[in-house]
Amino acid sequence: PGHTGPNAGPAPGPAPHPLSAAALGTLDFSLLYDQENNALHCTISKGLKPMDHNGLADPYVKLHLLPGASKANKLRTKTLRNTLNPTWNETLTYYGITDEDMIRKTLRISVCDEDKFRHNEFIGETRVPLKKLKPNHTKTFSICLEKQLPVDKTEDKSLEERGRILISLKYSSQKQGLLVGIVRCAHLAAMDANGYSDPYVKTYLKPDVDKKSKHKTAVKKKTLNPEFNEEFCYEIKHGDLAKKTLEVTVWDYDIGKSNDFIGGVVLGINAKGERLKHWFDCLKNKDKRIERWHTLTNELPGAVLSD
């Protein structure tokens, strides 16, 4: 008796307190990466009350992608009132998510209690490394929330992500020019006190001696996910394109004061990674429209940051 053979299972330790696991509450949600559309869908289903919570809560769920500028990629559900068994059944979607993000990033999901008079109260959080997801497969989670984990603040600020932009490029032999499509932006950094921006996009084809290459989209009011769907044509010989770079900048329009720079991206033969590949694919596939998401950063080589 008392002998633990190979099949006796783990030695009996003190039984975990039944409430400890669920002390901060639980959350059911599912995640789906739609690869073709570069979208990450997060469906928040329901939660279960934190055990040590006295009375009712006004819970909501918020999402962040890490690493990343927190303001720019925060999504949240609606707040449910006076409940300890919230059912949201709400899907929040990140657009402009690339395969690279899926390898590198982590989704942080926090549950908070909204409070009209004080700071909203943090209840608990969980984190899912996106590499755990298979493209185009919905994965369902049911987990116990954990205490707040620190966010790594040591990221290099010079290359802080400021959002995403979806750009299309096509060299048209018919028009003898480069067609640049500004399709949409996703989770832009907020520049205005209301937590939004009034974004518009500017493009230049450089070098640009006589400053004729500037194009501007319309301004979209109060949004961090604007859709522009505008296309500009630069008349240029196909052979000259290799010497040019396309500078795309996103701005927040402000009345009566100078506009704020949100972020930018430069495509061309001297760029790297996706930015070089996009340009190269455009050069070598005449008359084919090639659409790609790019990360906006707050660094632009030699760009004049004024509008």
pLDDT in tens, 171-187: 999 999 999 999 999 98
pTM of the model: 0.67
**CA dist., res. 236 & res. 283, Å (int):** 12
Average pLDDT value for residue range 5-25:
53
pLDDT for the residue 168 = 98
pLDDT band at 159 (very low <50, low <70, confident <90, very high): low
pLDDT for the residue 22 = 53
Asked if the peptide bond before residue 67 counts as cis, ω within 30 degrees of 0, the response is yes
pLDDT, averaged across the chain: 85
Average pLDDT value for residue range 68-97:
87
Q: With contact defined as beta carbons under 8 Å apart, do 224 and 197 qualify?
A: yes
Average pLDDT value for residue range 260-274:
91
Asked if the peptide bond before residue 199 counts as cis, ω within 30 degrees of 0, the response is no
**110 or 16: whose pLDDT is higher?**
110
Average pLDDT value for residue range 59-67:
90
The lowest-confidence range among 9-18, 124-133, 165-174, 223-232 is 9-18
